[in-house]
Structure 1
Amino acid sequence: MGPQDTEEETQRVLIDAAMIASDIACEDAWLRYFGLGGTLDDFDIDGFLAGLISLPLTECNLLAHAVNELIEEQPPHPKAPYRTSRFEPVNTGGRDDVLDELLRQWLFGSTDRTHRQRDA
C-alpha cells in the first residue's frame, strides 16, 4: 500500500463519515455525483464507500464535491440557547417556548442564514 492508497483510504473514510453524519444515502450521493459529470455507476460508488474498490482521483474528488453540496443544502442544526447572567432565557422574539424556537430554526433555518445564502 503506497502513500496514494493511504490518502485514498483516508478520503474514502471521511466521505463515508460525512455521509453518515449528514444522513445522506448512497443513492443520493451517486445521483448528485452523476449530475456533476461523474462517469461511474452507483455500484462502483457503493463499492468504493464500502472499501471494496479503488476509484481514480478525479472521481473521488467529484464524489466528495457531490456530498459536500448535499450537506450544504441541509437545514442547519438547532443551536443551544444562551442565558443572561441572571439565568433568564434569551429573548426568542416574544416566544416563551425555547424548544419551539429551536425546532423552527432546525426545520426552516435561520432567516439571517437564508438571506446570506441568497446574497452570496
Structure 2
Amino acid sequence: MSLLDREEETQRVLINAAMMASDISCRTAWRRYTEYTGMVDQFGISAYLAGLVALPVEECNLLAHAVNELIDERPPPLKAPHRGPTPWSLGPTSGGEHDKTRDELLTRWLMDTSAETRYRWEQ
C-alpha cells in the first residue's frame, strides 16, 4: 500500500467516523457536497464511504468540507450543570443567548424522548 493509498484510506475512514459520531446520513452529506459543486452522484459517494471505489482527491476534500460544515452547524452537546459557586464558575457568565439555547435544548430533550431513552443503563 503506497503512502497516497494510506492517506486516502485514512481520510475515508475519518470522514465516516465524523459522520457516524455526528449522526450525518450519506444523503445529507451528499446534498451538501453537491452544493459545493461536487460531481459524484449519491451512489458514488456511498460506494466511496464503503471503501468500494476511490475518488479524486479534490472530491474527497470537498466531501470532507461538506461534512465539517454540517458538523459545525449542529448545536453543541448539552453539558451537566453545576450548582452553587465553584472555582471554575466564578468568572464572567455568558448568560443571555447561551442560557436560552441550553434551556431550549433541555426542554426539547425532555419532551421528545422517553424515560427509557434518557436513562439508558449500560449492562
Provide TM-score, normalisation by structure 2.
0.69
Alignment of 1:49-68 (within 5 A): 49-68=49-68
**Residue 21 in structure 1 maps to residue 18 in structure 2:** no
Letter in 2 for 1:31: R
Equivalences, count = 97
Paired residues of 1:75 and 1:107 also in contact (CA < 8 A):
no
Letter in 1 for 2:53: I
* RMSD, matched Cα: 2.7
Cα deviation, residue 103, structure 1 = 5.7
Cα deviation, residue 65, structure 1 = 0.2
Letter in 2 for 1:28: T
SS in structure 2 opposite 1:60?
helix
**Residue 82 in structure 1 maps to residue 85 in structure 2:** no
Cα deviation, residue 85, structure 1 = 6.7
SS in structure 2 opposite 1:14?
helix
After superposition, the Cα gap between the structure-2 partners of 1:8 and 1:79, relative to the gap in structure 1 and judged at 3 Å, is same
- Please give the per-residue CA displacement for 1:80-105, whole angstroms capped at 9, x wherever unaligned: 2234478xxxxxx8xxxxxxx95634
Letter in 2 for 1:25: S
Residue 104 of structure 1 is matched in structure 2 by 104
Tell me which stretches of 4 or more aligned residues in structure 1 moved more than 3 Å: 83-86, 105-108
Cα deviation, residue 75, structure 1 = 1.2
Paired residues of 1:48 and 1:55 also in contact (CA < 8 A):
yes
2:62 and 2:4 mapped to 1: Cα distance?
17
Provide TM-score, normalisation by structure 1.
0.71
